[in-house]
A = this chain, B = another copy of it.
């Protein structure tokens, strides 16, 4: 009965390759723009068939983590440009409920960012920009989110923002925007949050 030891590759080859690539990138300190070995070379070095190597590379490419140029090679992309958004949007965010959730989430994160902005005392950084006239509410929001100095939160907000914009159009009263802006300029957190709640119909 000595185990037949059926291959039973617990992990599929292409997954194994993805991990090897990750290690390779980490160990060799490869970064944005650098080139990784050709498919044929990876195939030889890792000891797997070229088609398996390609499956791994295609998956990473779909994620936007690498870029391939025919005739040239495969290159690492700036990880901050990953395509999470489009992918999630296309495949996951579909139903009506999800849209509602997305809009709701977006607004709540905006509010969180406002609070965080004040908590970190960074609201003054926006003053000069807010004083000019022709700024849309969205532009203001972008500055607020960026002002929080939290790239992750910014990323999440941008994702939601892009997705929401595909089916929802903000329609906000100019006066309310003005109140909101004034509150920020005056560094009045409470007033800013109140204005935002009204703006977004979050008051009870």
Residues of chain A whose beta carbon lies under 8 Å from any beta carbon of chain B: 14-15, 18, 22, 25-26, 51, 54-56, 58-63, 65, 79-80, 82, 84, 87-88, 90-94, 97-98, 101-102, 104-105, 108-109, 111-113, 115-116, 119, 150-153, 156, 202, 204
| Most chain B CB atoms below 10 A, which of A65, A152, A153 | A152
Complex Cα–Cα for A55 and B80 (A): 24
Q: Are A119 and B153 in contact (CB under 8 A)?
A: no
**CB contact under 8 A between A88 and B82, given known A119-B202, A153-B105:** yes
Q: Is the CB of B94 within 8 A of A26?
A: yes
Q: Are B92 and A80 within 8 A (Cβ)?
A: yes
In the complex, which of the residues B51, B54, B88 contacts A84, with contact meaning CB atoms closer than 8 Å? B88
Contact of A116 among B58, B80, B94, B108 (CB under 8 A): B108
Main secondary structure of the interface of A (DSSP, over half): helix
How many Å lie between the Cα of A16 and that of B55 in the bound state? 15
Q: How far is the CA of A104 from the CA of B26 in the complex (A)?
A: 24
Contact A62 B18 (CB under 8 A): yes
CA distance A94 to B82 in the complex (A): 14
Find chain B residues with CB under 8 A from A116 CB: 104, 108
By Cβ-Cβ distance, the 10 closest A-B pairs, closest first, are A108-B112, A59-B62, A55-B58, A101-B152, A59-B59, A79-B92, A101-B150, A105-B153, A105-B152, A58-B59
Most B Cβ at <10 Å: residue of A65, A80, A101, A115: A101
